[in-house]
Structure formats: C-alpha cells, structure tokens
Amino acid sequence: MIGFILRRLAVTAPLVVAVLVGTFLLVRLAPGDPLSGERNLPPEIRRALEQYYGLDQSLDRQLLHYLNRVARGDLGPSYRYRDRTVNQVIREGLPVSAQLGLLAYAVALVLGLLAGVMSATRPSSLRAKLILSFATLGISVPSFVSGPILILIFSFVFYLLPPAGWGEWRHLVLPVVTLSGVYVAYIAKLVKSGLSEVMQADFIRTVRSAGVPENRVLWKFGLRSAILPAVTFSGPAIAFLVTGTVVVEQIFAIPGLGHFFVEAATNRDYTLLTGIAIFVSAAVMLMNLVVDVAAAVIDPRVRIRTG
C-alpha cells in the first residue's frame, strides 16, 4: 500500500506544478492588470507600486520569484485586499466553503445511496422510475437555475427561509439543497448501475445459495462492490464542494472561496486568482489520491490494475 501511495504522489506533484505555471502565465497574459482599476494614478506612484509588487520585472523573473514563494508556502500579497495576504484570504473563505460543501455532500451521499439502492432492488417498479426521473432532472438543471427557483419559492412565496446571507442554520438550507441536488442524482445513478450489475454476478448467487438473508446479501456483499464508482466520484466532488462553488456562493451571497475567486477575477488580482486556482487544483488532486487509496482498500484488485 505504501508503494501504491508513493506512485500516486509521484504523479500528483508534477501536475500541481504544471497547474501553477499554467495558471500563472494565463493570468498574466490576460488583458489588464491589478493597477488598471486605480483612477487617475500618477505615473510615479504607478511605477512605485509596480516595483513594490514586482510587476516591473520580466515575466520569467516574476514566475521564478513566485515559484520560490510558493515553495515556502507563501502565496503572496493580495492586490485587492491590501491588508491581507492570499494565505489569509484562503483561511478566511475556506471554513465557510468547507462547512457548506461537506454538509451538501453528506446529504447527497445519504440520499444518493438510498435512492440508488431503492431503484436497483426493483428496477421495473414505479418507485424506481420516479427516482431515475428525478435523478435525470437533477443532473439536467444547473445550479444557477435551481438556486433562484428555490429562492423564489421558499423565500418570496412562502417566506420560510432567507434568500441570502450567512451566519445561521437557516442560511444553509437553500444553498445545501441547490448544491446537493446534482450530486444526489449522480450518486444514485452510479449506485443503481453498479448494484444492478453486481447483484447478477456469480459470487452473489453463491452467497444466496448458502442461505444468507437477502438484506445481508444486498448491504454487505452487493453494495460493497457496487459502491466503487461512487467512491471514485466522491474525490473530485468533495474537493469541488469544499473549495467553493462560484455560482452558488454568488447566488446566496456566501463569503466563501467562490466569492473571493470572482472578486479576484473582476479586479485582476493576480496573486489571489492564482492562489485560489492552485489551492483548488491541489485539493482535487489530493482527494483523487484519497479516493484511489480508499478504492484500493475496498477492492485490492485496484492496486493490481493500476500497478
């Protein structure tokens, strides 16, 4: 298992560096700069600010300087939030996004597993057809459509929940439902597909012939093998949810990483934009590594197939 993890790390590290360099260059080559928003900025002050932030240097020297800072764990100062560094901004936004994302995925996992098992046990029933219909609807409707619809219904028609904001449990309900809807649908489809196939396998027939109760066959033997696709899907899904979802956080005015990412893009905040992109990419790759390890623990054949 240690060798398996080391091989995954050997692949992950160069990818993080590649994302860092690619993001840095794309952000720097985009039109505009962090100082272009300053109105009537005198030339001498502009030159002083460019020198302070290192923007007067060549692109290759800026990249080398930035790589050196990142290697020390320093993502640099923020141009937009001049009293805070990028590290501080991420530390401020991450707990908000993490709370929202983990709660949304917990809801999606529970509902998705139940829906997948229910639709797989009786695939021809009306219940299974309704579940699959809702799953298809959940995948098809994007969050920028479902979010405003939920706000319209529960905030402006029934006055049950606040339309936006952060700080109380009531502020979590609509964003969590909006975020989890798509993931409930994906997990339900993955579990249903995997479980339907596994329950027809030879080893399941052998277990049944031994007199094992059907519920035990389903939950202990069938679901353990069928859950692998859902486990694989969980890695990037959790990373994406925890590190912030731009659309949902903007719709519900949530001060998470997604909010800061939009602000950074709007204000050409090079360091903040690059820092959040690097952080999100590293989180996705780390979660993929965790998923690979979890899949190898559930099914040791994964280690053999992936070398």
Look at residue 299 and tell me if it is in a domain: no
- Give the range among 81-90, 152-161, 292-301 with minimum mean pLDDT: 292-301
Least trusted range by pLDDT, from 35-39, 55-59, 99-103, 105-109 = 35-39
Question: CA 115 to CA 35: how far, in whole Å?
Answer: 52
Q: What is the DSSP letter of 85?
A: B
pLDDT band at 171 (very low <50, low <70, confident <90, very high): very high
Whether residue 227 is contained in a domain is answered as yes
Domain count, the chain: 1
Residue 262 lies in a domain: no
- The pLDDT of residue 149 is 93
Instruction: Report yes or no on 11 lying in a domain.
Output: no
**Chain centre to alpha carbon of residue 218:** 30
The predicted pLDDT at position 304 comes to 47
- CA dist 304 and 59 (Å) reads 44
> Would you say residue 76 lies in a domain?
no
What does the pLDDT average to over 233-237?
Answer: 78
Q: Which of 233, 284, 253 is nearest to 96 (CA)?
A: 253
What is the distance between the alpha carbons of residues 185 and 199, in angstroms, rounded to a whole number? 21
pLDDT digits (tens, 9 = 90+) for 178-194: 988 888 888 888 888 88
Task: Report d(CA 26, CA 270) in Å as an integer.
Answer: 10
Q: Please list the alpha-helical segments (H only) found in 160-269.
A: 170-198, 202-209, 214-216, 223-226, 228-242, 246-251, 257-266
Q: Are the C-beta atoms of residues 228 and 299 closer than 8 Å to each other?
A: yes
Distances (CA, A) of 233 to 49, 105, 122, 227: 45, 11, 24, 10
Domain, as residue range, for 170: 99-255
Within a 10 A sphere around the Cβ of 48, how many other Cβ atoms? 12
Please tell me the distance from the alpha carbon of residue 129 to that of residue 151, in angstroms, as a whole number. 28
Question: Looking at the domain assignment, is residue 300 inside a domain?
Answer: no
pLDDT tens digit string along 16-47?
888 889 988 888 887 777 777 656 677 888 78
Helix axes 170-198, 126-140, angle to 10 degrees: 120
In a domain, 73, yes or no: no
For residues 177 and 184, what is the distance between their CA atoms, to the nearest angstrom? 10
Burial of 211 (0-12, 13-18, 19+ CB in 10 A): exposed
Q: Could you give the CA distance from residue 213 to residue 155 in angstroms, rounded to a whole number?
A: 47
Q: Is residue 22 domain-resident?
A: no
Question: How many angstroms separate the Cα of 258 from the Cα of each of 170, 233, 271?
Answer: 20, 21, 15
Per residue, the 3-state secondary structure of 198-220, as one string, reads HCCCHHHHHHHHCCCCHHHHHHH
CATH number at residue 219: 1.10.3720.10
Q: What percent of the chain has pLDDT over 90?
A: 13
